[in-house]
A and B are shown apart, each in its own frame.
Chain A
Amino acid sequence: MAGWLWFLLQLVIIAGFVTYLIISAKKAKQENRTTWFMKTWEKDSVKSIASSLMSIILGLLIGCLILFIMVLIPTQGSKLSMKSAIDGIQLIFSGIFNTGRNANGSLIFGFNSVNIGDMLFRATPLILTGLSVAVAFKTGLFNIGAPGQYLASTSVTLILALSIPTSVVHPIFVWIIAFFGGILVGALWGVVPGIFKALLNVNEVITCIMMNWISANLVTMLFDKQIGPFKNLLDPSGTKNLAYVFKTTHNGVATPKLGLDLIFEGSQVNFGIIIAIVIAILIHIILNKTTFGYQLKACGSNKNAAKYAGINDKVCTIVSMAIAGGLAGAAASLYYLAGNTEFAWETYQSLPAVGFNGIPVALLACNHPVGTVFSAIFISLLDVNGMQLKYMTPYNEYITSIITAIIVYFSAFSLLFKQILNGKIKINLKNIFKRNSEKTVETIEKETATEDKKEVIE
């Protein structure tokens, strides 16, 4: 029951806070003064965060709804019951604090160092792929090629980290060579769509998709257990049976833990998360405090105006894609240099989800570089909650992928949410479901006009 109380407490606190804000705002309006809340609300960034939160809440609610619907649909051999649905909802919201079940079979919650550490570990590549997508977005490009850049970097990182003998070169230098090698290859993979876009005016989405699949097949070719040139890097031990590449610890190369494993005992977290956060801050500084960053953003917001101002938009496009690719490459390097992750080389049929999950991370952060840190942690929190759901209930971890997809879907029309928040569009179910949205705007204008008249009359 503790979980339920905790959940209810959260709800009560949030509801109380929101009612306090609304009541104080109303009072202030009557007295013709503004509160701190109204001032911050005017800011665009606050509204962006609010619209992201709206997509998250909608995604989570639909996810919970799916859990209930699955109980109601009878399937053969189904182990689902109402109790598992309720447990599932608790785990979706707070699975990270789950510490197992008590004697009665109900879930118990508390500080779980493994889960929290793993959450940070999984967030590391997500921060960087999110940054990759965000930087491209800022320049008006959609980098759907992050999975391909990630894979290309994975292979090069692993090859460098495993084949440079640590008896000759100090492991730290091997780490650094592998890390930058990965970034370089990622950038190379990103620059191709950039060049196509800048010089040949080919849509970057298509080239990115093609580059993704080329990368997926190329990586398989490199590590192929029969004919691949790097088949000696495959792990031949019994259960692995050549399906995975060696961990980098096989060669003594691994990211240092720097005491983080003492805080989060038993988890996989390491120094990589700090590197990722530092990179996010660096990108923030580059984008917002330098001329170069300003040029990139100018190209993104209006290409013609940027050209007119003397900015070379072609160089901007190419460089922006190179940076995006490099960031996705860094994601793979940090993830696989951790030393406790294995890479299944047979990738030619599917692309890594981490690359695609950069898209929700960037969208939720509204393309703000520091924001990606928080949204990446949120997405990996969902991942960890999903794993708990898999272990503790008859459901499986894919529910969190569903929630992520729904969040992306709702982020696609975050503009609409912003308009709602700005009060330009009032939430009216009749209007939303009308076929012609032009009409809705007209009716809203009419409504507001009549309201204005009423006020005048009063």
Chain B
Amino acid sequence: MVYFIQQTLVFCIPLMIVALAGVFAERSGIINIALEGIMVFGAFIGVLFVRMFLNMGFGPESGQFILLVVVIITMIFGGLFALLLAYASINLKADQTIGGTALNLLAPALVLFLILIISQQNVLNINSRYSSADLFMLFQEDFGLGTSYENPLGVIGNILFNKVFLTTVYAIVLYIVLSIILMKTKFGLHLRACGEHPQAADSLGINVYKMRYIGTVISGCLAAFGGFIYALTAAGCTSNGDVAGLGFLALAVMIFGNWNPVSIALAALLFGALKCISVGYPYIDFNGDGIYALTKLPINSHIYRILPYLITLVVLAFTSKKSRAPKAEGQPYDKEKR
């Protein structure tokens, strides 16, 4: 059970934060199909800077400090990368899907090109001395809960206070704060207006171009952060120009969650659980009786991998009439158009 919940969180957190990234872009009127590309880029930048800090002589004792700095750097670079999409689709009024596809092609190519030159192999590791991401992991003794095998807080203690990364906390806090900003503040209302009816927004004195820039850049920051979380938690702090299609899955989560942060959090949990089952189904023990229930079922393990995508298709088929997609997404804003 503990394994199941922790593994679900491993996939759920990046899915959630990257889906929110998609929401910020689309609610401002820009289709951000480049989420996957930005995630790949973010994962690379994160691992690269961790590697640089470790090579500069920072040790495990300043692990959490390095993590925070790297997260901030990753977000800045992600924002810069998203500027490419913003410039093409806002100023040059290019087709947003093609622009996003270009970034999706560019990111893995650029990342693999640099990785091969930097490390002479297909994978970028953090460092030869510290081979895994355990460096940044917090164990129960870090929380003052002793070193005994039995956690004093029981199952909850094991889930929340053992073998956890602080990035999870950052991500959840960021998610809540940004969701409130998007849904409850004046700024958020302005941003959403630009995605629903930019002409009306403009007539009220909102700078549509500026709002769309902000939306896309925030989207880039979050997607890059999500990519780094994936690299840190699921890939053991390595980067190989690939995030296993998580960016596209995040798009599915966003649609499934109807562009609404609360529903997206729930959708991310569901998809995270499915992803977790597909990856780790032989090790999942739901009720702690030592029987791995899923291995007993006559279901092909690949079915679990297909399920998230299949569910999205079915949901799309049934909810297309009620879909709350931003009305002006994908359309370049042209002042002269009425």
B is bound to A: yes
Contact between B109 and A196 (Cβ–Cβ < 8 Å)?
no
Q: Which chain B residues border A216 with CB–CB below 8 Å?
A: 245
Name B116's closest neighbour in chain A (CB-CB): A396
Q: How large is the interface on A (under 10, 10 to 19, 20 to 34, 35 or more residues)?
A: 35 or more
Q: Which chain A residues border B91 with CB–CB below 8 Å?
A: 435, 437
Name A200's closest neighbour in chain B (CB-CB): B320
Contact between A206 and B316 (Cβ–Cβ < 8 Å)?
yes
Q: Which chain B residues border A214 with CB–CB below 8 Å?
A: 306, 309-310, 313
The reply on A220 being an interface residue by CB < 8 A is yes
Contact between B302 and A224 (Cβ–Cβ < 8 Å)?
yes
Contact between B313 and A408 (Cβ–Cβ < 8 Å)?
no
> Total number of A-B contacts with CB less than 8 angstroms?
155
Given A408-B102, A413-B88, A202 and B320 touching (CB < 8 A)?
Answer: yes
Q: Which chain A residues border B97 with CB–CB below 8 Å?
A: 142, 144, 205
Contact between A412 and B306 (Cβ–Cβ < 8 Å)?
no
Q: How large is the interface on B (under 10, 10 to 19, 20 to 34, 35 or more residues)?
A: 35 or more
Contact between B302 and A221 (Cβ–Cβ < 8 Å)?
yes
Name B89's closest neighbour in chain A (CB-CB): A412
Q: For the complex, give the distance between the alpha carbons of A351 and B243 in Å.
A: 12
Q: For the complex, give the distance between the alpha carbons of A220 and B303 in Å.
A: 11
Contact between B316 and A349 (Cβ–Cβ < 8 Å)?
no
Q: Which chain A residues border B109 with CB–CB below 8 Å?
A: 398-399, 401-402, 404-405
Contact between A363 and B113 (Cβ–Cβ < 8 Å)?
no
Contact between B209 and A409 (Cβ–Cβ < 8 Å)?
no
Most chain-B CB neighbours within 10 Å: which of A350, A394, A413?
Answer: A413
Most chain-A CB neighbours within 10 Å: which of B242, B244, B309?
Answer: B309
Contact between A349 and B245 (Cβ–Cβ < 8 Å)?
yes
Interfacial residues of chain B within 51-100, with CB under 8 A of chain A in the complex: 55, 84, 88, 91-95, 97-99
Q: Would you give the shortest CB distance from A208 to chain B, in whole angstroms?
A: 10
Q: For the complex, give the distance between the alpha carbons of A206 and B313 in Å.
A: 9
Contact between A398 and B102 (Cβ–Cβ < 8 Å)?
no
Q: Which chain B residues border A356 with CB–CB below 8 Å?
A: 101, 104-105
Given A213-B245, A396-B116, A437 and B93 touching (CB < 8 A)?
Answer: yes
Binding site for A on B (CB under 8 A): 31, 33, 55, 84, 88, 91-95, 97-99, 101-106, 108-110, 112-113, 116-118, 120, 209, 242, 244-245, 248-249, 251-252, 255, 300-303, 305-306, 309-310, 312-313, 316-317, 320, 335
21 A-B contacts (beta carbon < 8 Å): A142-B97, A205-B31, A210-B309, A214-B310, A216-B245, A217-B302, A221-B300, A224-B302, A398-B110, A398-B113, A401-B108, A401-B109, A401-B112, A401-B113, A402-B110, A405-B102, A405-B103, A405-B110, A408-B98, A413-B88, A435-B209
